[in-house]
Amino acid sequence: MIMKLGKLLIVVATIILLFSFSWAPPSFAADCNPGSPANNSGRPVPPDYCWITGSYTCDNAQVGCYSSSGGRASGGECVNDENQQRTHGFACVHGTHCVGAGTCTPNAPTCTITGPLVGYTNAPTYYTSTGSVWPTLGNISRVESWQSPTSNQSWAGFCNSITTSCSGTTTFSSGTGTYYVICKSFATYIDSTQQQCTGNQFGIPTGWADCGNQSRITVTVNGPDLTAPTFVSISATPTTPTNTNSITFTTNVKELESGLKTVNIFVNSDPNGATSGTWTRLCPSTGCITNTVYCTSASPCTCSYSGTTGTSISCSGAVWSGTTEGKHAIRVNAVDLANQTLDNQQAMLFVVDKTAPNGNTLSVSPNSPAFTSQVQITTTASDPGTQASGISQIITYINTATNGSNNGSWVEAGRCAISPCTVTWAANGWSTPSTHLIRSDIFDMAGNSRTSALTTTYQLSATYSCD
């Protein structure tokens, strides 16, 4: 009996102990925490952190956090799904932050400014400012660009746009030294509220937010840029000489200081390679296809750069349509932001030849008719015109028809790259007596050709003649 009573007391004590330490679900604090004295490790919990009782896990991105399986789950988990956040009692979603316990507000806009870190006193410098805001919460209503000497706060605005991006140039009028160049961004939210940010390095004024580290740069301004761009190379497709009606040019120039403003390619009308004729600007057919270049197709068209500097800058797509015969000077003109000019008036001499070559003479040895195993065939040709491209190839053929017609197959006897061109027809094995048609095709360097430019017939005898 005593043993049974003891067992009963142990059971009762165990039940009491279990009720004293029963599990309870964790109590979630508000998703936004204005600041807690300390967590269970004695560390202070900063403001604007998602907070679970006894722990904080998420950073200022405010993606929301929760504890799974009734516990901390590795210190809590940051989640991206808004429904999941709501399930766990959190309301601060992407693009918002805490302004008090349980209260969230949209984040202020941000902006990024890009452009050169070096400027020149005699040249405008090109910068682009781009604003951003969380897309489901609002829109950028305005973006601005400003600059000021670092020595004193004297801001001058140089770009203002009601779109998300603003591109423009500024001149550093206070002379050499360092300048701050910043962007400002303005946003209107879906609840009609508005916020604004600035990259002001002197300090963020009341009522403004900080646009972030990418909203400000420091520019070193040097003395005047007195160096013009330099010519590097020019190429054409197709290459010179050609007989085509359309040629596309690509040029490379170098600009290392203030930045490149424009590049243009011209052709001269003089057919002898002189620069005394009329210069015509070559417009791109589909725009200049190259890095950081935009083109205008207006007349006259211009390949324009955004203050680009580098070891070699390319402008391609300048098309010469409706080409005219002759040797033409191709000119490259480049201007930098300080208006220093490169003007290479004979960057290339390009030959356009649209006239086919002529066949002059076609002779054979021995004379026809002949009982022979070899026939020497000589062709002379010329390429007309004062700026002719020249003979590139002469090909001589023999027709297998035995009656002197062209009804058989053409067999090549030989070819040359010069005029006169002498080839050997190995006639052994050809039936005799027979008469065969001989022809010569002539080509020039520009791709023009004259098929059957010269023809003659040759009679192979069956027996040797003593005549």
* Identity at 217, one-letter amino acid code: I
Domain count, the chain: 4
Considering the domain architecture, whether residues 455 and 400 belong to the same structural domain is answered as yes
Considering the domain architecture, whether residues 102 and 153 belong to the same structural domain is answered as no
How does the average pLDDT of the chain come out, rounded? 78
CATH number at residue 168: 2.60.40.730
Do residues 284 and 317 lie in contact, with contact meaning Cβ atoms separated by under 8 Å?
yes
Better-scored residue on pLDDT, 90 or 306 = 306
The pLDDT confidence band at residue 306, using thresholds 50, 70 and 90, is low
CA distances to 172, 225, 365, 453 from 150, rounded to whole Å, are 12, 22, 91, 78
Q: Kindly provide the b/e burial profile for residues 132-144, where b requires at least 16 CB atoms within 10 angstroms of the residue's own CB.
A: bbbeebbebbbbb
Q: What is the pLDDT of residue 98?
A: 53
CATH number at residue 396: 2.60.40.10
**Statement: residue 274 has pLDDT above 80:** yes
Q: Kindly provide the b/e burial profile for residues 348-385, where b requires at least 16 CB atoms within 10 angstroms of the residue's own CB.
A: bebbbbbbbbbbeebebeeebbbebeebebbbbbebeb
Read off the pLDDT of each residue in 49-69 and give the average, rounded to a whole number. Answer: 36
Residues 6+ apart with CB under 8 A from 192: none
Better-scored residue on pLDDT, 356 or 36 = 356
Considering the domain architecture, whether residues 122 and 101 belong to the same structural domain is answered as no
> Which residue, of 325, 352, 379, is where some domain finishes?
352
**Statement: residue 66 has pLDDT above 70:** no
Residues 6+ apart with CB under 8 A from 115: 125, 126, 127, 128, 181, 217, 219, 307
Task: Give tens-digit pLDDT for 220-246.
Answer: 999 999 999 999 899 999 999 999 999
Is there a cis peptide before residue 241, judged by omega within 30 degrees of 0?
yes
Task: Give tens-digit pLDDT for 338-354.
Answer: 899 999 999 999 999 99
Better-scored residue on pLDDT, 168 or 146 = 146
173-177, 414-418, 454-458: the lowest-pLDDT one: 173-177
pTM above 0.95, yes or no: no
Residue 416 CA to chain centroid, in angstroms? Answer: 45
Q: What is the pLDDT of residue 464?
A: 65
Q: Which range has highest mean pLDDT (32-41, 254-263, 305-314, 438-447)?
A: 438-447
Read off the pLDDT of each residue in 86-90 and give the average, rounded to a whole number. Answer: 39
Read off the pLDDT of each residue in 391-406 and give the average, rounded to a whole number. Answer: 97
Q: What is the pLDDT of residue 239?
A: 95
Is residue 97 within a helix (H) or strand (E), and if so which, with residue range?
strand 96-100
Residue closest to 122 by CA, chosen among 173, 166, 88, 184 = 173
Considering the domain architecture, whether residues 269 and 325 belong to the same structural domain is answered as yes
Range(s) of the domain holding residue 265: 230-352
In this structure, is residue 390 part of a structural domain? yes
Q: What is the pLDDT of residue 126?
A: 86
Read off the pLDDT of each residue in 198-211 and give the average, rounded to a whole number. Answer: 95
Q: What is the pLDDT of residue 56?
A: 34
Is residue 20 within a helix (H) or strand (E), and if so which, with residue range?
helix 2-20
Q: What is the pLDDT of residue 435?
A: 97
Considering the domain architecture, whether residues 137 and 102 belong to the same structural domain is answered as no
The DSSP letter of residue 339 is: -
**Statement: residue 41 has pLDDT above 60:** no
Read off the pLDDT of each residue in 404-423 and give the average, rounded to a whole number. Answer: 97
Spatial distance between the Cα atoms of 94 and 136, rounded to a whole number of angstroms: 9
25-39, 275-289, 297-311: the lowest-pLDDT one: 25-39
> Which residue, of 301, 324, 352, is where some domain finishes?
352
Do residues 167 and 124 lie in contact, with contact meaning Cβ atoms separated by under 8 Å?
no
